[in-house]
Each structure stands twice: as C-alpha cells, then as structure tokens.
Structure 1
Amino acid sequence: MHASPVPGTEGYADNAGQLITRYTGVIAADKYKVVSHLLPRRAGAVLDIGAGTGADSAWLASLGHKVVAVEPVAAFREAGMRAHASPDIEWVDDSLPALSVMTARETRFDLVVLAAVWMHLAAEERSAAMENIGQLLKPGALLVMSLRHGPAPENRRIFDVSASETIALAARHHLKVVLSAQAPSVQQQNRHAGVSWSWLVFQR
C-alpha cells in the first residue's frame, strides 16, 4: 500500500467505486481498434502499465499473451484480481516514472501498453518514465500509448501532452514511431464531453 497517492493517481482512489463500474463497460477490443493490427500475433510477454481494473490485460491474455498488470491504485488492482483471475495475468503494485519493481526484475517484454496513463505525468516524470520503459522492451518490441485530449475531471492531475512532443521524446530514447492516429473516445460520456485520443505505437 502506498502511504500517499502516487503522482498521477490523484482522484482515482476517491472515486474508485464509480470508476470501476464505468471501466467494466469498456470493451478493450473496441478501445484498441486503431492499433490492433500492429499488436503481436504470436504469444509473448506483455506489460500493461496503469492496468486499472484489468480489462485490457484480460483481453491481451485472451489473445494468448502472458501479461504483467501494473497498477498502483489498490482498489483497482484488487477489483482486477477478482474480476480477471487468470494464471496468465500477474498483478504488480508499481508505478511510473521509476517502475522500480519492474526494472529491478530485469525482465524484457514483447509489448508494453500505456492506455490513458501518460498525460498524468509531469514533463520531468515523462522523461524519466520513457527511459525506464525503453529498458523494458526487447529489441523489436512495441510500445503502445494513448493520450487524452479535451476537458479533464476537476480532481484529476492531467497535463496537455501532444503526440508530437511524445514522438520527439521517444526518439531521444531510440524508439521509432510506427503509427500516430486520432480516435474518438469509446466511452459515450467522454465523447459528449469532447474527449478524444491520440494513439501512438513505437518500436524498439
């Protein structure tokens, strides 16, 4: 358990019950539609950073992957373990930018996913996080990220992060952009609020 909120998670624990219900209604295959054609077809090792309640991890596991689901918010992690109990999903209490638990393991992954996570980090945190994530990728592995644009909930720590800025940061850490695309939110509530997403895929 974290003594104080991990930077970027502010507001999530306080609204965990409501958010868990909302997340349950999101279909991962729909959310990843714009990038799904690039995801590894062969079973591999996947790291889902900011896994929330585990819907994405469960979907990736259903495709044959072994998934490590990293989630610092205890309520989400516990809900995910209950809802998506699977020998193919390992839950880990860890957080960006350091990812100290994962980096200490020295495990490398075929795919790293950060959906709706990156914009919670300040600029200096994003720089450190990109370096640490890069170290967890196998040669040729993919990094998939989504960035939120539009109005933010009042109690959340969200920064205005552009796709171009993120691509430039990734390039400094030897990650090549494979895809940059825009997509509407799959959540009706967010669409009505004017929320959209940038989806980025990088290769090591």
Structure 2
Amino acid sequence: MHSDTAGERLHDMASTAGYGEAAEALAEQYESVTFTEVHREVLHLFPSRPSSILDVGAGSGRDAAALAAQGHRVVAAEPTAELRSLGRRIHADQEIEWVDDALPELAVLSVRRHRFDLILLTAVWMHLEEQERGTAMPCLASLLDTGGRVILSLRHGPVPPGRRMFPVTAQETIDLAQTCGLDVVHLAEREDPHGRPGVSWTYLGLELGVS
C-alpha cells in the first residue's frame, strides 16, 4: 500500500518538479562539466557542418551554447522559467533561440514547419512516464529531417528527493524508437560525469531513415 501511494505521488508530480526551486544550484552543477566531457561517447554523432539543432530540456544552456559556438543554429527548449532566465544570462554571448516548451507534445515547436538535423535530449527521457514516452517519441521523429538524429541519454540510479523520474531501459527506448522509423546507430554506457555514487548513464544515437 505504501509503495502504491508513493508511485501515485510520483505520477502526480510535474516532470519538471524540483528544478525551479533548485535552478541556481543546478545551473552551477551543469556548468561545472563541459559539453565535450558529458557527450564524449556520442561526439562523433553530432553534425560537422553548420546544422539546425534542437536541445530539449536545455537547462542552463551549456550544450546549446557549445553547439552555437560551433556554428550551429540552436533552439533551446526549456520549460522551467528559472533555468531559461539563467541560461539566457550565462550564455548571452551565444545566439540561441530560447523556447518555453516541453515533451511529450512539444506543443510550441510542433506547430512550426521547421525540421531539425539533430535533437538532443540530455537527462530528459526518464522524467516521462510510459504513456508520455509513447507520445514523445513520434513527436521527436516528426521534428527530424530525413537522416536526422536524436541523441538521448538515460539516467540510472537513485532518484534525487523531490524529483520525478522513472526507470527506463535502453531496450525499451530502442523498441519504441524503431516503431517511429528511428534506427539505432549508437549505444554506450558510462559512469556519471559528476561522480555521483550509484548513478550511471546510457547514451543512444537514433537516426531517421527514409520512409
């Protein structure tokens, strides 16, 4: 009975729970490691030519700024107002389009006709419950250009207090991606770049084939 109640509380929480209140500390944490260190397993999957990139759950804008500095056109979707504000301030020197939008529907971006060469989801997917993931994956596929890629990281381990996270396996994510026309081009596992005990990550590269 107790576990059912805890599960219900988890499902009732917003996917962004805990992020607004802790925005300053989280931004400091995110910015303490570099884009290259966080994404070392998948750097070869990022486009080498200037491309259109969507960073979903952009947080403090660390990744969006690094990609913009490489000459990419970057849209940073971040639903937490406090993090958007910090990101704009911290990375004011980079040309980034900040948007208040979130999965599973990405309602703001989905009504545009723009398609992306790459969509980045860093530590986002496990915040969505199963039904939301079922809605989110086809949404992501619909925003990709043919041959476009999704780079996605999954967090495994203890859930921080006040956060909403669900256990998600790489295989479940791969199976769902394949139903949306996304092929797996990369799968890797690694330790936590922040050194948190019990935390590990799966990195997936998914590519939209010709339908």
Cα 1:66–1:86 shift into 2, 3 Å: farther
Q: Deviations over 1:8-30 (max 9, x none)?
A: 10111121222122112121111
**1:9 counterpart = 2:13:** no
* Pick aligned residue for 1:60 from 67, 70, 77: 67
Could you tell me which residue of structure 1 aligns to residue 128 of structure 2? 121
Could you tell me which residue of structure 2 aligns to residue 202 of structure 1? 206
Using the size of structure 1 for normalisation, the TM-score is 0.93
Could you tell me which residue of structure 1 aligns to residue 52 of structure 2? 45
**How many residue pairs get matched?**
197
Q: Deviations over 1:89-139 (max 9, x none)?
A: 100000110100000112100000000000000000001010111100000
8 Å CA contact retained: 2:185, 2:206: yes
Q: 1:88 Cα deviation (Å)?
A: 2.8
Q: Deviations over 1:140-178 (max 9, x none)?
A: 001000000011102110000000000000000000000
SS in 2 for 1:13: coil
Could you tell me which residue of structure 2 aligns to residue 131 of structure 1? 138
The higher radius of gyration belongs to: 2
Q: Distance in 2 between matches of 1:135 and 1:110?
A: 12
Moved over 2 A (4+): none
Could you tell me which residue of structure 2 aligns to residue 106 of structure 1? 113
8 Å CA contact retained: 2:16, 2:80: yes
Could you tell me which residue of structure 1 aligns to residue 32 of structure 2? 25
Q: 1:197 Cα deviation (Å)?
A: 0.3
Match of 1:145, as an amino acid? L
SS in 2 for 1:96: coil
Match of 1:135, as an amino acid? S
8 Å CA contact retained: 1:53, 1:77: yes
Q: 1:35 Cα deviation (Å)?
A: 0.3
Q: Deviations over 1:17-70 (max 9, x none)?
A: 221221121211110100001211011000000000100001111111010000
Q: Give identity over the alignment, percent.
A: 46
8 Å CA contact retained: 1:65, 1:88: no
* Pick aligned residue for 2:100 from 73, 76, 93: 93
Using the size of structure 2 for normalisation, the TM-score is 0.90
8 Å CA contact retained: 1:140, 1:203: yes
Cα 1:87–1:16 shift into 2, 3 Å: closer
Where structure 1 has 5 or more consecutive residues not aligned to the other structure, the ranges are none
Where structure 2 has 5 or more consecutive residues not aligned to the other structure, the ranges are 1-11
Could you tell me which residue of structure 1 aligns to residue 181 of structure 2? 174
Q: Distance in 1 between matches of 2:66 and 2:111?
A: 27
